[in-house]
Amino acid sequence: MTTRLRAHFPVLEGCVYLNSNSTGAVPRATEAVLGRYWQTLCAWRDDVWEGWLSELQSYADAVAAFIGGPPGSVVTDANVSTLLGRIASCFDYRPPRNRIVTTHLEFPTVPFIWRAFGRYGAELDVVSRGGPGFDEDALQRRIDERTLLVCVPHASYATGAMIDLPRLVKRAHDVGALVVVDAFQTIGTVPFDVAALDVDFALGGAHKWMCGVGTAFLYVRPQLLPTLRPAATGWLAGDNPLTFLPATGWAEDARRFAGGTPFPLTALISRVGLDLLAGVGIDAIREHSLRCTERILLRADAAGIRVLSPTTPEHRGGVVCLDIPDGEAVKRRLAARRMICSWRGGLRVAPHIYNTLDEIDAFMDTLEQELEQIGR
């Protein structure tokens, strides 16, 4: 399967690409989409928008299907930050239920946005014991009747550690809080089923594990939609945007979380990768991912390299983070030798469905040579 898939990804021809939790590989069929887009611009007519809007909706519905949601439960926009801001703008933060419980392992945009909503009364409670993992018991204790939202990542961008979502969602719902999951680091490589998990909001994006470019998405639990009216909004969220008259109400589906005129190209491009992944199936992707991350763990252990990520399969996401002295410089030296990974306080090695075990061995061989050279 991997051999057949590799032919779709040009970036693999020039390097060992283990960077999918930063920027995933993009399939070559994307070029035809770009060509079509350019042809559209060359022969511009305003009614092109009809086709674009329906392709955008079709992409959103395909994302929904990929994560177990019904049509109309997903909306797209440029990035996760924009969509999280829209979620935040739905609430009035009146005490006593004005707390946002989150963790120390959020991508920096998450605490930044919640602190900004402090001016409207949001009170941020960051559950942290430091270190690479989540303090799940402390999370259980800190979620209570004062909690409006629990906002957590499915997996940490820095360490790959995964949170126990069923346990967390149960506790949150038991006390009447809603759950927002930033699943950018898992959707596309770890099974994530919004219905089975019963999450209220899920955020993700195309350009890491989803083999796409420049678009993000938000799932909203359909039963919640009628109760939510984002203040950060735009004309496309209205009930009848294409009349170009002032809206009289909100779109019934997740489009009520839209903003202004979208940039359709990124969704058109990202559809190519999404269809490819959906064709493989998330269970097969996860199985391959676990085989690859297991190989990294074995090699790290043999080389005496400390691993920052959880090692048990049920707790690790798609990435293995290695504790490497002067790691950022090592990352650059590896890149000079065509071994591509990323650095966020640890060396993040992120294989996907298009990587082979031989590539992982080649990467780990090169890393060991580099570490030897710097006398580690």
Ligand X SMILES: Cc1ncc(COP(=O)(O)O)c(C=O)c1O
Binding stretches for ligand X (CB under 6 A): 79-81, 107, 109, 153, 157, 182, 184-185, 205, 216
Residue 341 phi, psi (nearest 5): -145, -170
Nearest-5° angle of CA 264, CA 270, CA 273?
A: 160
Report cis status (omega within 30 of 0) of the bond before 96: yes
What is the closest distance, in whole angstroms, from the C-beta atom of residue 83 to ligand X in the complex?
A: 8
What is the closest distance, in whole angstroms, from the C-beta atom of residue 167 to ligand X in the complex?
A: 20
Nearer to ligand X, 202 or 300 (CB): 202
What is the closest distance, in whole angstroms, from the C-beta atom of residue 26 to ligand X in the complex?
A: 16
Rounded Cα distance, 217 and 194, in Å: 13
Among residues 172, 168, 91, 104, which one has the least CA distance to residue 132? Answer: 104
Nearer to ligand X, 81 or 140 (CB): 81
What is the closest distance, in whole angstroms, from the C-beta atom of residue 79 to ligand X in the complex?
A: 3
Nearer to ligand X, 90 or 350 (CB): 350
Nearer to ligand X, 154 or 295 (CB): 154
Nearer to ligand X, 89 or 109 (CB): 109
Rounded Cα distance, 245 and 238, in Å: 10
What is the closest distance, in whole angstroms, from the C-beta atom of residue 43 to ligand X in the complex?
A: 32
Type of residue numbered 16: V
Among residues 203, 190, 184, which one has the least CA distance to residue 289? Answer: 190
What is the closest distance, in whole angstroms, from the C-beta atom of residue 216 to ligand X in the complex?
A: 5
Find all residues with CB under 8 Å of 232, minimum gap 6, and list them.
85, 86, 88, 89, 259
Residue with tokens 């209205």: 238
Type of residue numbered 137: D
Nearer to ligand X, 80 or 210 (CB): 80
Among residues 85, 203, 259, 69, which one has the least CA distance to residue 251? Answer: 259
